[in-house]
């Protein structure tokens, strides 16, 4: 396979650190990793994702408390992203967290880049309010700590709303060349048109700016699809959100104008003691925003067949597995080769003798 890597990263860097899961109540985690470096795409056209109703996505996430139970996996994925970010030489002036949710990634990004301005974008006002509250609580705690030794002005927390923006991934309010790093953790799969999102992220990135994202891949929730397929009353494709393949994302990145996209994938398996606990976590991931989802209620007999199908999937430890295929992508915005009018740009290095 032809190998393309990010500038500043050698192939040995692709041997990423082994996953060490933390102890999580009521759950058990296992992980397998597959790393694939994509060749250049042959076409600029990438497939669309599932038929997602963006207005329903906003309604599903309108109550941030619904997704609290899924935060454990977001933190694990964020830590994997930071391991990848540490391999890249980058000193950004402005960083955008696209799909910030409740703002859990913002402190780590600020710690990683203490001199950078950290911006946060989300389509759901309630999520931004939760991020604002989290930031306010963190600043208040810091002020109380510092006040023991230093005088703190009353206006010290006046900037807690700065950088929190409500907007669509594919239509951000930022200008051209606005940010040096776009970071997006497990949010892209909620957008119906990821190809348009990539084009917008490229627009707002400065030359040599970095895009780093994670999202779910097609094997996510495959146990649910198997149980639904074994139940005549259900349609697996309409009741479980479909996810885009890693290679299709790579094609979209090239089509959007990014250079040398590098993709890799981890399969995380979370096991549960009961069907009820498993389904509670599935609901905590947001729900089903597809336009073709069934609208009617299901019968008791059909629901029992679905539960029985999941129960038959218990492993040797008497636990039920749920798979998450996590896709990671890295790509840079390249130096332009043509002008807006289509004329070629020729760069000469006059320092060479």
The predicted-structure confidence for 271-290, as pLDDT tens digits, reads as follows 999 999 999 999 999 888 78
- Angle at CA 137, nearest 5°, toward 135 and 141? 115
Question: What pLDDT, on a 0 to 100 scale, did the predictor assign at position 136?
Answer: 83
Residue corresponding to tokens 């999520």? 127
The strand order across the sheet containing 259-272 reads 27-36, 259-272, 320-332, 205-216, 179-185, 94-98, 117-122, 164-166
Q: Work out whether the CA dihedral 189, 73, 63, 100 comes out positive or negative.
A: negative
The predicted-structure confidence for 24-50, as pLDDT tens digits, reads as follows 344 555 555 444 333 333 333 444 567
- 258 vs 139, which has greater pLDDT? 258
Question: What pLDDT, on a 0 to 100 scale, did the predictor assign at position 32?
Answer: 54
Mean pLDDT, the chain, whole residue set: 80
Residue corresponding to tokens 């991931």? 285
The predicted-structure confidence for 283-311, as pLDDT tens digits, reads as follows 999 888 787 777 767 778 888 999 999 99
Q: What's the distance, CA 326 to chain centroid?
A: 9
Beta bridge partners of 326: 216, 266
Question: What pLDDT, on a 0 to 100 scale, did the predictor assign at position 35?
Answer: 41
Return the DSSP state at 36: E
Domains along the chain? 16-332 (3.40.50.150)
d(CA 308, CA 204): 49
Q: How far apart are the first and last CA of the chain?
A: 37
Q: Three-state SS across 267-311?
A: EEEEEECCHHHHHHHHHHCCCCCECCCCCCCCCHHHHHHHHHHHH
Q: What is the pTM of this model?
A: 0.78
Predicted confidence band of residue 214 (pLDDT cuts 50, 70, 90): very high
DSSP string, 165-216: EE-BTTB-S--TT-EEEEEEES-GGG-S-HHHHHHHHHHHEEEEEEEEEEEE
Q: Which residues of 114-147 are buried (b: 16+ CB within 10 A; e: fewer)?
A: eebebbbbbbbeebbbbbbebbeeeeeeeeeeee
């Amino acid at each position: 396979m032809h190998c393309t890597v990010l500038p500043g990263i050698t192939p040995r860097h692709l041997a990423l650190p082994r996953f060490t899961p933390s102890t999580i109540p009521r759950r058990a985690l296992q992980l397998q990793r597959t790393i694939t470096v994509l060749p250049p795409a042959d076409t600029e056209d990438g497939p669309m994702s599932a038929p997602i109703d963006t207005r329903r996505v906003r309604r599903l996430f309108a109550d941030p408390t619904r997704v609290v139970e899924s935060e454990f996996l977001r933190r694990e994925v964020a830590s994997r992203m930071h391991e990848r970010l540490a391999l890249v030489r980058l000193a950004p002036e402005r960083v955008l967290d696209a799909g910030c949710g409740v703002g859990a990634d913002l402190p780590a990004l600020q710690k990683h880049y203490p001199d950078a301005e950290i911006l946060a974008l989300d389509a759901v006002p309630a999520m931004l309010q939760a991020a604002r509250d989290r930031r306010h609580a963190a600043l208040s705690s810091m002020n109380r700590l510092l006040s023991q030794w230093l005088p703190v002005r009353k206006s010290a927390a006046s900037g807690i709303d700065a950088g929190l923006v409500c907007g669509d991934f594919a239509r951000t309010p930022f200008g051209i060349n606005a940010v040096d790093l776009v970071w997006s953790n497990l949010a892209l799969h909620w957008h119906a048109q990821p190809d348009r999102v990539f084009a917008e992220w490229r627009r707002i990135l400065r030359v040599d700016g970095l895009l780093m994202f994670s999202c779910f891949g097609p094997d996510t929730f495959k146990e649910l699809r198997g149980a639904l397929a074994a139940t005549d009353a259900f349609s697996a494709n309409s009741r479980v959100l479909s996810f885009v393949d890693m290679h299709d994302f790579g094609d979209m990145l090239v089509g959007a104008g990014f250079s040398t996209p590098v993709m890799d994938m981890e399969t995380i398996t979370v096991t549960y003691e009961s069907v009820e606990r498993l389904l509670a976590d599935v609901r905590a991931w947001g729900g089903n925003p597809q336009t073709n989802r069934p609208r009617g209620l299901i019968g008791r007999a059909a629901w029992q067949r679905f539960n029985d199908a999941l129960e038959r999937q218990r492993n040797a430890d008497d636990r039920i597995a749920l798979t998450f295929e996590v896709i990671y992508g890295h790509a840079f915005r390249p130096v332009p080769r043509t002008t807006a009018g289509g004329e070629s740009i020729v760069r000469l290095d006059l320092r060479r003798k």
